[in-house]
A and B are shown apart, each in its own frame.
Chain A
Amino acid sequence: MYDFAFHKPASLSEAVALLADPDARPISGGQTILPALKHRLDRPSALVDLSGIAELREIRREGDKLVIGAMSRHAEISADATVRAAIPALARMAGSLGDTQVRNRGTMGGSLANNDPAADYPAAAMGLGATFVTNRRRIGADDYFLGMFTTALEPGELLTAIEFPIPEKAGYAKMRNPASRYVMTGVFVARGPAGVRVAVNGAGPGVFRQAEMEAALAANWSPEAVAGIRQSPDELNGDIHGSAEYRAHLVNVMAKRAILDAG
């Protein structure tokens, strides 16, 4: 790892000022950026640690939505009584990603700002129709994810919270890579104020919605409704772990399991 300056601001405005340096990077839980820096994949001039900003850690219910501070850790989200009551599928997801030690450090905002195609939260955010709150504006899920490791966030723009409309039903299922445990293909399904939404992660270069399944589930919320729908392998990821055709097949299998998970 190359050396860098380290700052730990106590306020959001101070953090944003420090990040005006184009070579400075924010660090939340560090579970992605530190392994990347160890491999010298980046050479930041400074790391700006967001863990000292108390307002970014809050989890609360506001009427018909759940608001999760960007710096909330996976372990906190999975154990939080408000999250478990409002969107149990999201709490279960937070408890199923990485491992115990990663969940003790990693944050929801860090994962969503990174937008790894094999990460879990993008499926929940897209599937639930979340709103991304930043220090500048509010971004809808359909406008936020721009493909592999790419989001609508601009330089100097920080996620502060993610707002999830509370669904009537939501469920998630994933096939993990047996060695790395990252998502090979996952499907998040939800029915609620945002209608029926089906989001697929892990299979493509970024999370995407499966419109045909959404229409079928809007008419009939059951695994049978999607059983005959075939995902096209075009533009899906193919690698040594699984071909695009294999991942396309998994979309169907995971969708059925996600509907059963939602109940």
Chain B
Amino acid sequence: MPSVSLTVNGQRHSVEVEGRTLLVELLREQLRLTGTHVGCDTSQCGACVVHVDGESVKSCTMLAVQADGSSVTTIEGLAAADGTLHPMQEAFREYHALQCGFCTPGMVMSAIDLVQKHPQGMTEHEIREGLEGNLCRCTGYHNIVKAIAAAQEVMHGRREALAPAEA
């Protein structure tokens, strides 16, 4: 059986996998990091998005062996050790950017990559286009877009604290 060595949320792991084991299966079933979800079987929904060496990828469309030697960040790795949420998580909470919550881990991971790749900031339209690979079947996109727009201001250092959502 192939062996995979990788860092997940700062912690090193060496695990035996099958060639066919998907990265998402390694994360969920072997490392028990079940925050990363599987919503489809066709690489479309984006619930499984994680960061591999800083880039967002669909962990259902990558083999565990392809992540050998990589650094992976999942939704569990975003908050600080003392529980302080990442600004994107905080924004999703403040702006009520979730309904059932199933797509949320993937949305948050995609959103962080999107914001990091657009240091100049994004318009609402650009945020919507950037979320093309993530589906929310509650169709709760409106507040997700608002949350990302607010979070980017904090992540780029243009605001100290998150702008409060309108009541």
Does A2 lie within 8 Å of B58, measured CB to CB?
no
Does B19 lie within 8 Å of A5, measured CB to CB?
yes
Does A101 lie within 8 Å of B66, measured CB to CB?
no
Does A31 lie within 8 Å of B19, measured CB to CB?
no
CA distance A188 to B35 in the complex (A): 42
Residues of A near B41 (CB, < 8 A) are 38-39
Interface centre among A30, A39, A49, A105 (most CB of B within 10 A): A105
Residues of A near B113 (CB, < 8 A) are 100
Could you say which of A4, A39, A101, A181 contacts B49, with CB atoms under 8 Å apart? Answer: A101
Within A1-53, the residues touching B (CB, 8 Å) are 1-6, 8, 30-31, 34-35, 37-39, 47, 49, 51
Could you say which of B20, B43, B68 contacts A3, with CB atoms under 8 Å apart? Answer: B20
Does A101 lie within 8 Å of B58, measured CB to CB?
yes
Does B62 lie within 8 Å of A6, measured CB to CB?
no
CA distance A105 to B53 in the complex (A): 12
Question: Are A3 and B19 also in contact (CB < 8 A) when A38-B41, A101-B46 are?
Answer: yes
Give the contact-size bracket for chain A: 20 to 34
CA distance A38 to B41 in the complex (A): 8
Does A47 lie within 8 Å of B61, measured CB to CB?
no
- Closest residue of chain B to A103 (Cβ to Cβ) is B133
Q: Does B56 count as interface, using CB distance less than 8 angstroms? A: yes
Interface centre among A31, A38, A104 (most CB of B within 10 A): A104
In whole Å, how far is A72's beta carbon from the nearest beta carbon of chain B? Answer: 14
Question: Are A1 and B133 also in contact (CB < 8 A) when A31-B43, A34-B62, A105-B57 are?
Answer: no
Does A105 lie within 8 Å of B61, measured CB to CB?
yes
Q: Does A99 count as interface, using CB distance less than 8 angstroms? A: yes
* A interface, over-half SS: mixed
Question: Are A101 and B133 also in contact (CB < 8 A) when A6-B2, A34-B62, A51-B66 are?
Answer: yes
CA distance A222 to B62 in the complex (A): 44
Residues of A near B130 (CB, < 8 A) are 100
Does B20 lie within 8 Å of A99, measured CB to CB?
no
In whole Å, how far is A196's beta carbon from the nearest beta carbon of chain B? Answer: 32
Give the contact-size bracket for chain B: 20 to 34
Cβ contacts A93-105/B at 8 Å (1 or 0 each): 0000011111011
- Closest residue of chain A to B61 (Cβ to Cβ) is A34
CA distance A9 to B61 in the complex (A): 21
Residues of A near B133 (CB, < 8 A) are 98-102
Within B34-70, the residues touching A (CB, 8 Å) are 41-43, 46, 49, 55-58, 61-63, 65-66, 68
Question: Are A101 and B65 also in contact (CB < 8 A) when A3-B18, A3-B19, A37-B20 are?
Answer: no
Residues of A near B18 (CB, < 8 A) are 3
Residues of B near A2 (CB, < 8 A) are 20
CA distance A30 to B64 in the complex (A): 12
Residues of B near A35 (CB, < 8 A) are 42-43, 61
CA distance A3 to B20 in the complex (A): 5
Question: Are A6 and B19 also in contact (CB < 8 A) when A35-B43, A105-B62 are?
Answer: yes
Interface centre among B57, B58, B61 (most CB of A within 10 A): B61
Within B109-151, the residues touching A (CB, 8 Å) are 110, 113-114, 130, 132-133
Residues of B near A105 (CB, < 8 A) are 57-58, 61-62
Residues of B near A98 (CB, < 8 A) are 133
CA distance A105 to B56 in the complex (A): 9
CA distance A1 to B62 in the complex (A): 13
Q: List 4 tightest A-B contacts by C-beta distance, closest first.
A: A99-B133, A6-B19, A99-B132, A1-B20
12 residue pairs of the A-B complex, CB under 8 angstroms, read: A1-B20, A3-B19, A6-B19, A34-B63, A35-B61, A37-B20, A39-B41, A47-B19, A98-B133, A100-B114, A101-B46, A102-B61
